[in-house]
Structures are given as structure tokens and as C-alpha cells.
Amino acid sequence: MTTDQFSVAGQTVIVTGSSSGIGRSIVERFAEDGANVVVTSRSQENIEPVADAINDRASDESEDGEESDYGRAIAVECDVTDREAVEALREATIEAFGPVDVLVNNAGASFVADFGDISPNGWKTIVDINLHGTYHCTQVVGEGMREADGGRIINMASVAGQRGSTGMSHYGAAKAAVINFTTSLATNWAEDGIRVNCIAPGLVATEGVRSQMGIDEDEGGIDRTEADRRIGRPEEIADATQFLASPASSYLNGETITVKGVPRLDE
């Protein structure tokens, strides 16, 4: 049996919001598999250590002056709601690694509040990051993919975008739009050789979840081999992302994969 079709080696990959949590796990996984990755979020001081750790690992893996198969990383500061910053991100990526093969629209944020307590500014902020950020990055980076040989775009939604969320109605609405957008775009850009898919994670133990939802589950305490779970590890989302970025998912387009553990029939 071969696992070659699951490889992302040699690909150029941008993962937005990769300073922490799921995004960080994705860049680490992709680099380990030989992809060149762009680590990006709003603050240079948070992304540099992630890129440095990847490049240190690549140097450690080099033997006798020979290049290792480990991917390289650059750190590029970019707020996904800022169109000019997204354009600069694309340019910095092409300069460092060449045309972009894979874009992972992972940057996201939320806060918990009853609907009546969400101010116009709070609503707009959450829709801006989760939906408009996906729009900017996809349009700017995707145009380059269309001019080249195509690519893969993977959007990070949420189960909140599938079923709604009592405490995060703004976030649920934005993520529902991301799921719908995935289907529209897959149809639009299939003829350009671009596959567009989406992941809807359930609860995953990350910094974001710890600060937004007050859940202090440590990912280290989560056992991947346990089927009966309602919380996942970031690398379980990285696994699904690698599948969608790789040739193994060649007949999958416009879909949303839910990654959330065991379904509960009593809800």
C-alpha cells in the first residue's frame, strides 16, 4: 500500500492564522511532510517563533550538507481583513517559494455573547475576520492559482456554521456563509483546476477555545485513540487539511467535512 497520494511535499502553502492552535498545527504538519509554508497572522512576534522552529528542524534534518526533505518557512505579518496586507502576503510568498499551490483560510475569531448584547461593531468584527478575511485571501491568492496550473483552497468553518450557536450567533452566521461560499466557489473555479473544500471542526483544544469559551482542557490530555470524544486535538484537523490539500482528495470538490467526534443522538 502506498501513502504517496496523501503527500503535500514540494507544495507552496499559505495558512492564515498560523501563530497558534489549529493553524500552527497545520504549518508544522505540512512542513514535516516537505511543503514550504507561510506562517502568517496579525503579529510578527507571534509568527516568527513558529517559522524559526520549522526552519531549525529543517536544518537539524539536513545531513552532511545535503538538503533535508523537511519544508522551509517564512513569517509574514498579515491581518486578513486588510486587502493591501493580503496582497503583500501573496507577493512575499511568491518571492520566497514561487506560485501558491494551497491556501488554507484558517484565521478566525469569536467571542461568547447573547445575541441582544452583540454591538454593531462586535458583529461586524466577527464577520470581517471569518467571512471577509476568507473573501480577501481567496480572491487575491486564488487569482494567481487561476493564472497558473490551479490549486487547492481549504476553508475553516465550524459546526456552529452548520447548526447555529446560541452564544455565538455572529460567528455561526459568518461560518455558515463560509460553508456556502465553498460550494459556490468550487463550481466557479473548477474549470481553472482549483478544488475548494471546507472543514467544520467541533470543539478542538486550542488557545482560542481556552480564551473564548473558558474551557481549559489541555490537548496533551486528549487521547486520539478514544472514539467517544467531544473534544479534539489540533493535529486531527491538520490531518483532514492535509487530506484535502493532497491528491488523495482529487474527487472531492465543494464539500464540507465535519470533524467533531461522536454524534450525540439525544441533542
Give contact residues for ligand NAD (rule: CB under 6 A).
16-17, 19-23, 41-42, 79-81, 106-109, 129, 133, 156, 158, 201, 203-204, 206-209
Shortest Cβ 15–ligand NAD spacing (Å): 9
Cβ pair 161, 176 in contact under 8 A:
yes
In terms of Cα–Cα distance, which of 82, 198, 201 is closest to 140?
82
**Active-site residue 251, yes or no?**
no
Q: What does the CA dihedral 141, 11, 74, 15 come to, rounded to 10 degrees?
A: 50
Q: How far apart are CA 220 and CA 253, in angstroms?
A: 33
Pairing of strands 73-75, 36-40: parallel
Among residues 70, 135, 171, 251, which one is catalytic?
Answer: 171
**SS3 readout for 90-143:** HHHHHHHHCCCCEEEECCCCCCCCCHHHCCHHHHHHHHHHHHHHHHHHHHHHHH
Shortest Cβ 92–ligand NAD spacing (Å): 14
Q: Which is nearer to ligand NAD, 8 or 157 (CB)?
A: 157
Shortest Cβ 223–ligand NAD spacing (Å): 17
Shortest Cβ 21–ligand NAD spacing (Å): 2
Q: Which is nearer to ligand NAD, 123 or 192 (CB)?
A: 123
Provide the 10 A C-beta neighbour count for residue 84: 11
Q: Which is nearer to ligand NAD, 164 or 193 (CB)?
A: 164
Shortest Cβ 258–ligand NAD spacing (Å): 10
Q: Which is nearer to ligand NAD, 68 or 212 (CB)?
A: 212
Q: How far apart are CA 94 and CA 147, in angstroms?
A: 13
Q: Which is nearer to ligand NAD, 196 or 209 (CB)?
A: 209
Q: Which residues are catalytic?
A: 171
